[in-house]
Structure 1
């Protein structure tokens, strides 16, 4: 800023708007040497302050200068499209100089582009300021982050409306998935809206490649193609949503400040989906149980997007050293790894693979830790053996012991987890409702529909306590808690 120590002291004393000092985080070396951390000022804060000051206005953020407010500008000129390392850009000649808009939301793009131009001598293409999209929308249009060539490392928020006035033209805007060089380069003032294809992302391309590889049977190919179509449909719906939010939510923006420069091709969408859920389930089971290299990435993608595509509950991790997990491990059978085992193992190296033959759930033991970790998919239901629930053990998850001497992870629905203890205002109604169902029928396929209303209040209160890990609640304790209404609880009364 060119402010010497004497001027700085004067500013601190006389200008109440001058930014306050802040203390930097001490470095490890300062910690080790017992030194005090440095005090200083946030550069962006000072840069914004300077733009609003009288004395240092010409050294502050260019697009925050209050002298620009309400001023009439000579009509600017569109210079053209420019490919840049930071993304597709448009240059606009204005009274202030050339303003470059990079049509990207990549973090730090404006600053990186400004630094690059500053290194070229500060006058490359006459650019004085670089703007990049933030991703949300402000009062006058899409939100922008600006970085001036004079201070390229200091990004600040700029107004779409001001840049539009400087350009003398409603500014073009592209939905995120159409923000590509081949689309943006087609635009010029007065151009028609470009109709562009929404391209497949890496995940969709992986699914389609697997479906076309010849490695899978009909059911698996159908499942892979169906999920690929679902992902493409979501991306197209995302483009529609972007256009609706940015271009149509405020009539003042459309046409006057913002031009929707591209739309996706509508013909053929939405892509067809499969109604036969049994066929899809058969396909994903075949993928999960295979030992094909080609199945790993498609299954990983599938499990990321839909927790219901396999007949298992949520992924759960528990330490192998717990008494409950040690006891449960004795029921497991070592097996050759399937694709599902490989997905559960991830990038772990020292692992062994198991199956719970009673419930059918896959399990992986990872030995990276001293005690190791069990990673498994919880069951959706416990088997019909004629046994009853004997007790519930509260450990890293909820465990069920049965009258035939077995122990199982608590069954659950695919998208939920069972937990217990003080939830900082939340209550373990899921676990309470599941346990209540298992008390009546151990082999029921549990439901969590309306668990907030259906969970017995007494069971919920029992599980809401922060019991010591490994606490075992007998059937009698559970039945007794379920029979209590807790109407006298002051929180319930409230």
Structure 2
């Protein structure tokens, strides 16, 4: 979140400052620090009228607050704090369309503290209050989402000029209120939590709400159609997500709390998470546990249960290495290509959960499985000017064989042909991708590293760790060339490239 940028025309500046055209002409001559105008950034080249001069509304509004002659026209929370003032008081909790809020009566009027980091929330709330002709609330503050020198950073908007947002200091608001202000960690800024707070009260202890992924995984874990190892895998991932979510709240409290204590800012932590339910014990991820979890996730991914579709999609994003699938890949389904040659061995099948993740949002023609690698494959229908596509996950390794890599074909991704006549998408881990050509400074070390490993052992599970260091320079240079789609590179060419030393830089 940040301060919204608004620009004012010359007429709008005059209205804000209540000056005549002549007074406007005099301003930069009388005040050397008067904000300079700029060309309208929203002006389009093809507009019939020439670009006009505009002023940054926030800069102008803050300038006015710091300039004695126009102070009463400037930002409320940027004006000098009144010298003699009565202590403010807490007016209680308010439900608003923009999030939970607390109101505070001060010497300058009521300040509404909006407990949200939504962009534009301060201005939107101030605009609504101005439309209601609310004369009590003078300023709305929302959280910036970061820390300032005097406490959590704030964005403010005055109801007198609700379109203009500006940064405000937590300490200045606390001085006006006359007491420390409450702050809630993000996941506990819920109406039922915020409304419980009162000045001087202890922090409210609240449960961190479950997020959608955790809820979906726990629902799937209750499905009796899944076998025991699958339910264990589902529950374990849900518990991990839960722990991380609660740890995020604890970390946020520590960061903001330590900052307040170190700088003696006037802030109190108004809510804390329930530590009695955290952390949840999860399975330690050693090799044996990884095998159990991977077995369970494979059962889920190959299930036809609707719950399995959602769970598989979550797992692919959260911990894809537990699933036996590599990088998502799509290539055009054209006759005469290496993909068409590969597709001849595919077996049509009923869709599973992992097929559904491949087909998400697409018009599907048929579902397949590669009988040699067990990889799921989807063929889509033509979509407008775009022809049908093959969608699949790259294998993590090629099937056991005594044959060798015969050639590499570059078509959408890297393909491997073998000496026994088979064709495979090249193995690739989930977090990487195989490509070639000029990468604008990046180099295709992934493809070079995979091919280097397969030249020595066609069936080894590939590793892409430190590919940028371990890929042979000659192979990297070969794949860095702009090869046409469908280019085939023979084994002899690949071996020669691998043995070619890098060209020295001049």
Determine if the TM-score, normalized by the shorter chain, exceeds 0.5: yes
* Cα 1:73–1:489 shift into 2, 3 Å: farther
The alpha carbon displacement at 1:253 in A equals: 4.0
Tell me the distance in 2 between the aligned counterparts of 1:73 and 1:315. Answer: 64
The alpha carbon displacement at 1:230 in A equals: 1.0
4+ long deviations beyond 6 Å: none
For residue 18 of structure 1, what is the aligned residue in structure 2? 35
Q: Does 2:370 correspond to 1:356?
A: yes
Report if aligned partners of 1:64, 1:158 keep a CA contact under 8 Å in 2: yes
For residue 284 of structure 1, what is the aligned residue in structure 2? 297
For residue 297 of structure 1, what is the aligned residue in structure 2? 310
The alpha carbon displacement at 1:98 in A equals: 1.1
The alpha carbon displacement at 1:192 in A equals: 1.0
Q: Does 2:410 correspond to 1:394?
A: yes
| CA deviations over 1:93-118 (Å, ceiling 9, x no partner) | 11211111111112222122212211
For residue 50 of structure 1, what is the aligned residue in structure 2? 64
* Cα 1:468–1:209 shift into 2, 3 Å: same
| CA deviations over 1:164-194 (Å, ceiling 9, x no partner) | 2111212111111111122222211211122
Unaligned stretches of 5+ in structure 2?
1-15
Mean Cα displacement is larger for which, 44-53 or 393-402? Answer: 44-53
Tell me the distance in 2 between the aligned counterparts of 1:391 and 1:469. Answer: 15
For residue 442 of structure 1, what is the aligned residue in structure 2? 458
Report if aligned partners of 1:215, 1:294 keep a CA contact under 8 Å in 2: no
Tell me the distance in 2 between the aligned counterparts of 1:34 and 1:148. Answer: 35
For residue 456 of structure 1, what is the aligned residue in structure 2? 472
Report if aligned partners of 1:99, 1:127 keep a CA contact under 8 Å in 2: yes
| CA deviations over 1:126-163 (Å, ceiling 9, x no partner) | 21101111211122221111111111122221111211
Q: Does 2:250 correspond to 1:240?
A: yes
Matched residue pairs, number?
A: 482
The equivalences for 1:168-183 within 5 A come to 168-183=178-193
Q: Does 2:475 correspond to 1:466?
A: no
| CA deviations over 1:359-394 (Å, ceiling 9, x no partner) | 211122222253123221111011122221122223
For residue 90 of structure 1, what is the aligned residue in structure 2? 102
The alpha carbon displacement at 1:249 in A equals: 4.1
* Cα 1:328–1:131 shift into 2, 3 Å: same
For residue 132 of structure 2, what is the aligned residue in structure 1? 120
Unaligned stretches of 5+ in structure 1?
none
Q: Does 2:147 correspond to 1:133?
A: no
For residue 271 of structure 1, what is the aligned residue in structure 2? 280
Mean Cα displacement is larger for which, 351-360 or 436-445? Answer: 351-360
C-alpha RMSD of matched pairs (Å): 2.4
Report if aligned partners of 2:473, 2:498 keep a CA contact under 8 Å in 1: yes
For residue 441 of structure 2, what is the aligned residue in structure 1? 425
* Cα 1:424–1:246 shift into 2, 3 Å: farther
Q: Does 2:215 correspond to 1:205?
A: yes
Report if aligned partners of 2:180, 2:268 keep a CA contact under 8 Å in 1: yes
Mean Cα displacement is larger for which, 317-326 or 149-158? Answer: 317-326
Tell me the distance in 2 between the aligned counterparts of 1:103 and 1:381. Answer: 51
SS at match of 1:55: helix
Normalising to structure 1: TM-score of the pair? 0.91
SS at match of 1:267: helix
Q: Does 2:316 correspond to 1:307?
A: no
For residue 398 of structure 2, what is the aligned residue in structure 1? 382
